[in-house]
Copies of this chain bind each other. A is one copy, B any other.
């Protein structure tokens, strides 16, 4: 998955799912490495290829791709949620509280949640976010 096949390629061959022109340009917005886009940014990129695409379709498609496990929403706590197409390589995120910039990072070690601490939950995901100030935003 992930690096092996491209997002567009995977969507193209997904049974029971139509890869329309709109969905294609939305998927293409995520090409390249280390992309973490807001809905608005996805719209802007999609419009470069298809100027008439609507914001509603962007939201619809983003929600579907999250549902399909192809995008991972990242709640930075600074501005709006961002969407990360890298759902296969385990990684964390580093967010600048000044400008909102976001980096993929590979933390050392892992937090485990012992059974006794799960309160009967079935775990499906875990996320670590680091916050700080980037070199350009040294601050309060």
Contacts and interface: CB of A to CB of B under 8 A. Distances in A.
A14 interface: no
11 contacts: A75-B76, A75-B77, A97-B124, A108-B111, A121-B130, A121-B133, A123-B130, A124-B132, A125-B132, A126-B130, A126-B131
A138 interface: yes
A121 B110 contact: no
How big is chain A's contact interface, by range? 35 or more
Q: Most chain-B CB neighbours within 10 Å: which of A81, A123, A126, A138?
A: A126
Interface string A103-126: 101111111111001111111111
A112 B120 contact: no
Contact of A108 (B76, B106, B112, B125): B112
Contacts of A105: 113, 117-119
A32 interface: no
B107 A112 contact: yes
Contacts of A8: none
A120 B135 contact: yes
